[in-house]
Structures are given as structure tokens and as C-alpha cells.
Amino acid sequence: MLFGKLLPREGNFFEMFNQHADRIVEAARAFSQLVANYNDPHLRDKYAQDVDNAERSADRVTHEINKAVHKTFITPIDREQIHSLINTMDDVADLIQDSA
């Protein structure tokens, strides 16, 4: 029982996945506004910057998840599945940014 108290607890992986998903939604909404306002250079630049900001924020969450995987002894799902999921989610954010 004492040994269990010495081990790092589960990270908040699902909360972090939700945070990353929120950043993807932010990027997608900004991209949608960019497309809708493409003829206005000022708005186009503003929404392109919003996409970049959301993607950078998503990258920070990805980094936090990867760090938590390495620090957590027992994860709620398999480590490989966590890496696969967050890398795929990050690819979505990257593709939105690349399209902007």
C-alpha cells in the first residue's frame, strides 16, 4: 500500500484530450471565418493569425500529454494508444494551419 503512494498517479489525459480538441475547434472556426472573409485582407490576416495561435496552443497541449505519459506509471489507456491519439489530433490541427 505504501508502494502505491510512491508511484505517480494517472495524469488528466482525458481532460487534456478535451483541451486539445477545443483548440482544434478554435482553429477550424477561425479557418471557416478566414474562408468566409477571404476578400478582406485585414480579416484574412486576422483569422490566419487566430488559426496559428490555436495550433500553437494545441502543440503545447500535445507536449504536456507526451510529458505526462512519460511521468505517469499507470495510464488510463495504453501508452501507444495515447501517443497515437494525440499525434493524430495534432495532425488535424497542423492540417488546418497548413490550409490557412
List, as one string, the DSSP characters of 11-77. P-HHHHHHHHHHHHHHHHHHHHHHHHTTT-HHHHHHHHHHHHHHHHHHHHHHHHHHHHHHH-SS-SS
pTM: 0.86
- Cβ contact 93:55 at 8 Å: yes
User: Mean pLDDT of all residues in the chain?
Assistant: 92
pLDDT higher at 49 or 1: 49
Task: Write the burial class of residue 51 (CB in 10 Å: 0-12 exposed, 13-18 middle, 19+ buried).
Answer: buried
Domain 12-99 has CATH 1.20.58.220: yes
pLDDT digits 0-9 by tens, 2-36? 545 544 556 699 999 999 999 999 999 999 999 99
Q: What is the mean pLDDT of residues 49-58?
A: 98
pLDDT, residue 74, reads 87
